[in-house]
Amino acid sequence: MALRNIVLEGDPILRKKCRPVEKVDDKIRMILDDMVDTMHDASGVGLAAPQIGMLRRMFVVSTEPDEIYYVINPEIIETEGEQEGEEGCLSVPNYSGTVSRPQRIKIKALDRNGEEQIIEAEDFLAVAMCHEYDHLDGILYIDKAEDVHEIVMEEE
């Protein structure tokens, strides 16, 4: 297990368009595992490769304990409905904002074995998938939210 440094907003790397993963090999799987460790360590529910400085089209999402999605070269092939929810981002610490996202999405992607998978996500899982997908095109949720605000920690 290895933790990677999370790239923070303001770094131009987060604004680049990522390139597809050419081959899902052990090196890619090792990076994905590091991304999961880094995400869990930071108490996040998703992390995209550019957030650890890798300009590749892949991300990990885990909105439920014991459920991890490894999403490589994703394509959103269907969207349905709309929902508004609060989002944050490990690259924009201590801020939050409301973003409108599809209620349901269907994603075609490769899994960690390089096999094609179809992911059907709704509610918060759809939000997380869309948020991470945007990272691959250099888009941050703060570009879409109108009410980005600092999270005020309550002092004891």
The catalytic site residues sit at: 132
Q: How far apart are CA 87 and CA 56, in angstroms?
A: 23
* 24 in contact with Ni ion (CB under 5 A): no
Q: Hey, what are 106's tokens?
A: 């269907």
Stretch 105-124 residues interacting with Ni ion (CB under 5 A): none
Q: Which is nearer to Ni ion, 89 or 99 (CB)?
A: 89
Q: How far apart are CB 38 and Ni ion at their closest, in Å?
A: 12
Sole residue written with tokens 């997380």: 128
CB closer to Ni ion, 115 vs 123: 123
Tokens (6 digits) for 75:
């394509």
Three-state secondary-structure class, residue 138? coil
Toward Ni ion, which CB reaches closer, 55 or 118? 55
Side by side, the strands of the sheet bearing 149-150 are 83-89, 92-101, 149-150
Q: Which stretch binds Ni ion (CB under 5 A): 56-64, 71-79, 82-90, 99-107?
A: 82-90
Per-position b or e across 50-86, b if 16+ CB within 10 A of its CB? bbbebebbbbbbbbeeeebbbbbbbebeeeeeeeeee
- Distance of closest approach, residue 63 Cβ to Ni ion, in angstroms: 13
**Residues of this chain, 36-75, that bind Ni ion according to CB under 5 A:** none
- Encoded one letter per residue, x for contact with Ni ion by CB under 5 A and - for no contact, window 83-102 reads ------x-------------
Contacts with Ni ion, residue ranges (CB under 5 A): 89
